[in-house]
Amino acid sequence: MALVVQKYGGTSVGTPDRIRNVARRVVDTVKAGHRVAVVVSAMSGETDALVALAHDIGGEHPEPREYDVLVATGEQKTIALLAMAIQQLGQPARSFTGAQMGMRTDTAHTRARIESIDHEVLLEVLDRGIVAVLAGFQGTDEAGNITTLGRGGSDTSAVAVAAALGADVCEIYTDVEGVFTTDPNLVAAARKLDRISYDEMIEMASLGAKVLQIRSVRFAMRYRVPLHVRSSFKLDEGTWVVPEEEMMEALVVSGVTYNRSEAKILVRGVQDVPGVAARLFTPLSNEGIVLDMIIQNLSRDGTTDVTFTVPRPDYARALEITRNTAAEMGAITVEADTEIAKVSIVGLGMKDHAGVASKMFQVLADEGINIQCISTSEIKVSVVIAEKYTELAVRALHAAFIEAGAAEPVPEA
Ligand code: ASP
Ligand code: MG
């Protein structure tokens, strides 16, 4: 008998019929002999609608405490409805808001961090054969104020509950069948991965694969909670996200990801002296703008060029700030480009293989795609290219590294 935490996203509970479908899955899991806690999101579209209302009345920056009181109501609806649907099937169930399950967070409204969970309250209910239906996304701070964890936060709620309960697995039910080698909408040959390591999943999530909230994977990794990402509409196994030691074979490249939500800023002719990078980037970080890639060219005649990427929503502000700093520093020009994409390959097996990056560059060269920036880590290589080549690049890389697969191994390091 296992203790299973299941998390259902907005699409999975988007209509009364879908809620009844979830109830059946929950009851089937109980009938298979397991104790089950279920974490749910708001019905699809619900949180967006609540956020829109908050802005309608509260303006551009609604008061954060009241914002949280409002947006947390989406999940309160689903826990009640799902508990009813489970009870209709003859299975005892009880709903819990964040406060009722002792989901304690810090006080950072709209992006709170989980501090603790009252696992005894939940275990007591589970041990009596009752299904616990828990509101994701919400908690309360020390003073009892309602807090929320940030958009997409119910994944993190579910993993935190699984960690607190010492669950055997945290199943994340969604509208896709698992984690794919790349976006199936772009590449027909994309296939579902059976297993992926936490590290690979974190890279894939931060590089643009949208299956799981990245914070939840970090949390799962820290507490070693096995995740199983699967479809709420099918019975097939999905993708297991597990510790690296449990990867039977590490693929050199397990995924190709892309991200079209960054912009590039290039500062030409900066004096190449100590303190330049700090001077250029401090005003940006003071504004809370997070840079992704940073590249500094070799200097010629005592000056250098610096290129960096920022999230597109921050681009206009970043450009203005950079223009000001660059002028103060006597730089020659500031150029910018929003039509870029970051394309990456990710794989644990890269650690033990040489030649992966150069093969990637060759594949892109063969397609006539120019590489503007490169960054690497132990398990990924990312390049910035013109946005219009995104699909071509992703398809070519998927074909070369994943479809060709073992047929064309990269030489061992
Ligand atoms: N309902 C919240 C949102 O839409 C939390 C979640 O779905 O994970 O962001
Ligand atoms: Mg969601």
Neighbouring C-alpha atoms within 13 Å toward the C-beta of 294: 7
The ligand minimizing its distance to the Cα of 74 is 1
Which residues sit with their C-beta closer than 6 Å to ligand 1?
9-10, 41-42, 47, 74, 136-137, 151-155
Check residue 287 and report its DSSP letter: T
Closest CA to 179 of 156, 195, 160, 168: 195
Mutate to test the pocket of ligand 1, among 7, 13, 41, 43 (most ligand atoms within 8 A of CB): 41
Report the nearest-CA residue for atom 8 of ligand 1: 152
The ligand minimizing its distance to the Cα of 77 is 1
Q: How confident is the model at residue 208 (pLDDT cuts 50, 70, 90)?
A: confident
Report the nearest-CA residue for atom 9 of ligand 1: 151
Give the pLDDT mean for 331-342. 94
Statement: residue 409 has pLDDT above 80: no
pLDDT in tens, 358-406: 999 999 999 999 999 999 999 999 999 999 999 999 999 999 999 986 4
Ligand 1 centroid to Cα of residue 82, in Å, is: 16
Statement: residue 276 has pLDDT above 60: yes
Give the pLDDT mean for 220-229. 95
Statement: residue 169 has pLDDT above 50: yes
Q: How confident is the model at residue 408 (pLDDT cuts 50, 70, 90)?
A: very low
- Rounded Cα gap, residues 132 and 121, in angstroms: 10
Ligand 1 centroid to Cα of residue 150, in Å, is: 8
Ligand 1 centroid to Cα of residue 83, in Å, is: 19
DSSP codes of every residue in 113-146: -EEE--HHHHHHHHHTTPEEEEESSEEE-TT--E
pLDDT of residue 308: 94
CA 270 from centroid of its chain's CA atoms: 36
Q: Which strand ranges, in their side-by-side order, compose the sheet holding 195-197? A: 93-96, 131-135, 35-40, 3-8, 169-174, 227-231, 239-242, 195-197
Report the nearest-CA residue for atom 4 of ligand 1: 47
- Rounded Cα gap, residues 138 and 362, in angstroms: 47
Give the count of beta carbons closer than 10 Å to the beta carbon of residue 257.
24
Ligand 2 centroid to Cα of residue 245, in Å, is: 29
Give the count of beta carbons closer than 10 Å to the beta carbon of residue 150.
14
pLDDT of residue 247: 83
pLDDT of residue 405: 64
The ligand minimizing its distance to the Cα of 11 is 2
Q: What is the CATH code for 3-175?
A: 3.40.1160.10
pLDDT in tens, 303-312: 999 999 999 9
Statement: residue 220 has pLDDT above 70: yes
Q: What are phi and psi of 85, to 5 degrees?
A: -65, -35
Q: What percent of the chain has pLDDT over 90?
A: 84
Report the nearest-CA residue for atom 6 of ligand 1: 152
pLDDT of residue 406: 47
Ligand 2 centroid to Cα of residue 41, in Å, is: 6
Task: Give burial (CB, 10 Å; 0-12/13-18/19+) of 236.
Answer: exposed
